[in-house]
Structure 1
Amino acid sequence: MPGYEAKAAQLAKMGADLIRPSGAPPFMLLGYAEERELIAGWAKKYGVQMFTSGQNHVRALRTLGIKKFVGATYFPERMNRVFARYFADAGFQVLALEGIDAPFAEVPKVPPEKILAFMKETAAKHKDAEGIYMLGSAWKTVEIIDRLEKETGLTVVHAGPARTWETQLRLGLRHPIQGYGRLLAEMPG
């Protein structure tokens, strides 16, 4: 992680109030405990609060009271097993974490309606799910989050809204945003 730490050091030197090393991989691949230890060390070393994508998603799921969820990614099955283990180690019950088949470079072109249908189908298979988790910023899904919540009755945690939510909280802001799911509409926390 030397490249990430070097950038964090540079941002801290510039006076950043918050640093968010981004990306599920590589940080989630470290595992839940190792990622926490690494980021806590950097935050202490550079005197700036920090959080990763995985830490953000864990906090959002916990804040919303979601303990059991179904999820989707655009990664292969072997990666999804690693992500599922990460969340299990964080105390969640991952009922399903499935990948939508698309070449990585094509992920932004996957139609939101296809993702919506996939998530509804996945949620329908797991009636005990308390929420839906969508890993990955490359999906263009912000427009379907509200609809997915209404049609499934489940709260959705997705990278973009989750980042916006936690960034606001950590910077002492609270500006609810309607139309992108419960997390941004209610700004809990």
Structure 2
Amino acid sequence: MTADLRALKIGVLVPYTNTNLEPDLMLMRPEGCSLHFERLGDYDIDEIPDSSQMARLGASDLTETLRLISGVRPKAVLYGCTSATLTHGTGFDRDLAAKIKAGSGAISLTAAGSVVAALKALGARKIGFSSPYVGQINDEAVAFLADEGIETVARADIGRNLGNYGQGELTPDEVFDLALRVNQPGVEAIVLSCTDMRSVEAVARIEKETGKPVVTSNQAMIFALCRALGLPRPDGAPGRLFERL
């Protein structure tokens, strides 16, 4: 581990209405890394972030975004929206990661790809899936995971359409309750999908209550980052997932 607290520059691409990805990543920041954020647009702030809106975000042109984040000479770039690639499928997710790598010259990790990597590291093939998404995105998420050999045994959403700020306004207590709804027999791990949901703060409590590992979008990206760079578990990173480093 390097003694220089800013030796490794990590770029993060974050949807422009997302208010929780940055605090979460700062909480879990690996020692020796500095985080540098660039915002993503190309979705309608006044519309429900449904499948079409998130697919539009995923397909948006990143040329200028990557030019700007490349200015910090990042070692890795994280793509911080899970649903933007869940809506397109696994092949799109891998292709987007490759494009980001080519455009930034850095290791590239997507939120959706990191969730899959985290589940495979845990050996979890049957999951409970919880999210604040509208129904169609949840259908697409289940299909995405199935393509990776992961079966969704139970799933839950918040039960109402949330706007672009509504997802980020859910409390950790609401996230806890959402997670417990998928704690059913046969579930080997609980997934909390969405980089703007305050899941990281609830991980330890959920794992204590259910006895099952929890994977969140933001936690999974930090796990994948640490594994890619050979970094130890960050002090602020919660969950049994980090025992796999």
Change (3 A) 1:164 1:179: closer
Change (3 A) 1:77 1:15: same
Change (3 A) 1:155 1:65: same
Aligned to 2:202: 144
Q: Percent identity?
A: 22
Normalized per residue, the structure richer in helix is 1
Q: How many residues align?
A: 185
2:122–2:241 CA contact under 8 A, matched in 1: yes
Aligned to 2:172: 112
3-state SS of paired residue (1:56): helix
Residue pairs, 1:96-135, within 5 angstroms: 96-102=154-160, 103-104=162-163, 105-123=165-183, 126-135=184-193
User: Over residues 82-112 of structure 1, what are the superposed CA-to-partner deviations in whole Å (9 max), with x where a residue is unaligned?
Assistant: 1111111111111123211342322333232
Q: Which residue type is aligned with residue 101 of structure 2?
A: A
Q: TM-score, normalised by structure 2?
A: 0.68
Aligned to 2:88: 30
Say yes or no: does 1:153 pair with 2:215.
Answer: no
Any unmatched runs of 5+ in structure 2? Answer: 1-58
CA RMSD of aligned residues (A): 2.1
Once the two structures are overlaid, the 10-residue window that deviates more, 40-49 or 24-33, is 40-49
Which one scores higher on RCO, CA 8 angstroms, separation ≥ 6? 2
3-state SS of paired residue (2:154): strand
Any unmatched runs of 5+ in structure 1? Answer: none
Residue pairs, 1:78-89, within 5 angstroms: 78-89=136-147
Q: Which residue type is aligned with residue 53 of structure 1?
A: A
Q: TM-score, normalised by structure 1?
A: 0.86
2:175–2:198 CA contact under 8 A, matched in 1: no
Match of 1:166 among 224, 240, 243: 224
Structure 1: how far apart are the matches of 2:99 and 2:170? Answer: 38
